[in-house]
Amino acid sequence: MKPVFNRILLKLSGQALAENGQFGINSESLISISKEIKEVTELGCQTAIVIGGGNIFRGITRDDRVIDEITGDYMGMLATVINGLALQSCLEKMNAITRVQSSFEMRQFCEPYIRRRAIRHLEKGRIVIFVGGTGNPYFTTDTSAALKAIEIGAEVILKATKVDGVYTDDPLKNKKAKRYEFLTYKEVLNNDLKVMDNTAITLCMNNHLPVIVFNLFRKGNLKQIVCGKGLKTVIADKNSTIFKREVS
């Protein structure tokens, strides 16, 4: 199989590392995800990752009697660093060369984010994990993913979920829910489909950056998606190359 993308950005939620919605890091989940990522890089696809921290701390669930909103966001940023280091360690145990770059200074643990350095790592075949969100409160890791993808020149954002794309309703609760094969950015925004936050979708729209929503937990699916196959929902402009390829 041959990848149809040269450089991707994979967006992982923190919950992807946990077990069945629990908190913390589940070893089997981490190993499974790492295998999927390594498999893609072995195809020659340059891979960057943005990871969330919801399995450790979610700012929206904070108790505002003790933690204010901005502090909660900072705590969430720190949680992404923990996840990024865990993912790096697991990947390197599989002999995948990896770098972690943070949006804020943490030199004892990882590199600071420097765009040119990140691109150079990717060109050398290293996996780059971006942590710390945007480095600012009030912004999600979805927005960070959009920003980083644009900055490093990624051809697509692969949004990893537990279902095979975007549906008309929750497919885990409603068996009659139908999967969208293709959506425009405006359809996502106008219908409030909550694929990513509105800021992230708007950034992607303004920069013509496609988003593919897929099921990370179907074995081998990441490789399928990178090679232009598999079940998914594509979010892009109707005149984009990726849309024309998918419907041809």
**Cβ contact 141:11 at 8 Å:** yes
> In whole angstroms, what separates CA 130 from the centre of its chain?
10
Residue 30's SS3 state is helix
Is pLDDT of 245 > 80?
no
Q: What is the pLDDT of residues 152-165, one digit of tens each?
A: 999 999 999 988 99
Q: What is the pLDDT averaged over residues 193-216?
A: 95
pLDDT of residue 244: 57
Q: What is the pLDDT of residues 38-86, one digit of tens each?
A: 999 999 999 999 999 989 987 666 777 889 989 999 999 999 999 999 9
Q: What is the pLDDT averaged over residues 107-134?
A: 96
pLDDT of residue 173: 85
Reported as a pLDDT band with limits 50, 70 and 90, residue 166 is very high
Q: Which residues of 91-101 are buried (b: 16+ CB within 10 A; e: fewer)?
A: beeeebebbbb
pTM, to two decimals: 0.93
Is pLDDT of 174 > 90?
no
Which domains does the chain possess? 7-247 (3.40.1160.10)
DSSP class of residue 218 equals S
**Cβ contact 152:12 at 8 Å:** no
Q: What is the pLDDT of residues 5-49, one digit of tens each?
A: 999 999 999 989 987 767 889 999 999 999 999 999 999 999 999
The count of residues in the chain is: 248
